Amino acid sequence: MLEYIKNIINNKFYNNANIVTSTTNEITIDIEKPVFIDFCKLIKNDENLKFDGLMDVSGVDYLDYGKSYWETIDSTSKGFSRGHKADINYSLYMKKRFCVSYHLLSYSKNKRLRLRVFADLKDMCVPSVVNLWSTANWHEREVYDFFGIIFLGHPNLIRILTDYGFEGHPLRKDFPLTGKYEIRYEENKEKIIREASSIKRIINTPKIVRKDFRYKK
């Protein structure tokens, strides 16, 4: 099947689609936005592929990708750089910041496929696939809610899982884990008020990426 998809890409979507191989035996295809809908239509209707099930749509924010709070590389000369050091200025990921992953399933061929479309803060729009797979309706609303990615052509793109009147997109990496606001009942005013969150976040276990591969076989 991989060969067949490669052929399609070489013939019709040259330069616009890219197959990413991974160690986990899952096929991932990165697609440019302009040809995305065409590609989806093709793999959904092609007799040899028949990806008629869309199982999942999820967003990913690559802002902190590969960043660690605790550098271990200099451990011998200076000791560990203990504690919070969040503003290390590099990211392993040089592509665009946001990505939308689509997990497709072909019931008749028993195959799975992942499509990825990238977006950036300058251009947060991604074409909607609701017309192809009805199930995308709520999935895309969820991605919009959590990441602020706008799906062009979606019939009812409103928030779904967060509270009524919520501000911000909570699964972005620059959104604090503790939230921005807290809500409580103020007795004197006899109404519910919203204040800035007073919770202090404590990091018990720092995120670590090891770049020391001396002992790796």
Partner 1 sequence: MNNIDNYKINFGPQHPSAHGVMRLVLDLDGEVIKKVDAHAGLLHRSIEKLCENNLYNQNVGYMDRLDYVSMMSNEHAYVLAVEKLLNIKAPIRAEYIRTMFDEITRLLNHLLWLGAHALDIGAMALFLYCFREREDLMDCYEAVTGGRLHVAYYRPGGVYRDLPNEMPKYKGDNFSKKRLDDLNYNRSGSLLDFISNFTERFPKFIDEYETLLTENRIWKQRTVGIGVVSPERAINLGFSGPMLRASGVEWDIRKKQPYAVYDKLDFKIPLGSNGDCYDRYLVRVAEMRESNKLIKQCVEWLYKNLGPVMIEDNKISPPARIDMKNSMESLIHHFKYFSEGFLVPEGEVYVATEQPKGEFGIYIVSDGSNKPYRIKMRAPSYVHLSAVDELARGHLIADLVTIIGTLDIVLGDVDR
Binding interface with partner 1 (CB under 8 A):
22-24, 26, 28, 52-56, 58, 60-61, 64-66, 68, 92, 101, 103, 107, 110, 112, 114, 133-135, 137-139, 142, 146, 159-163, 170-171, 177, 205, 207-210
Q: Determine how many CB atoms are found less than 10 A away from the CB of residue 110.
A: 7
User: Which residue number, 42 or 138, has a Cβ lying nearer to partner 1?
Assistant: 138
C-beta of 27: minimal distance to partner 1 in Å?
11
User: Which residue number, 152 or 208, has a Cβ lying nearer to partner 1?
Assistant: 208
Is the separation of the CB atoms in 20 and 114 below 8 Å? no
C-beta of 15: minimal distance to partner 1 in Å?
23
- Element (H or E) spanning 141, and its range? helix 136-147
C-beta of 102: minimal distance to partner 1 in Å?
11
User: Which residue number, 13 or 98, has a Cβ lying nearer to partner 1?
Assistant: 98
- Neighbouring C-alpha atoms within 13 Å toward the C-beta of 41: 9
**Which pair of tokens denotes residue 14?**
């040259």
C-beta of 52: minimal distance to partner 1 in Å?
5
How far apart CA 75 and CA 210 sit, in angstroms, is: 11
How far apart CA 31 and CA 148 sit, in angstroms, is: 20
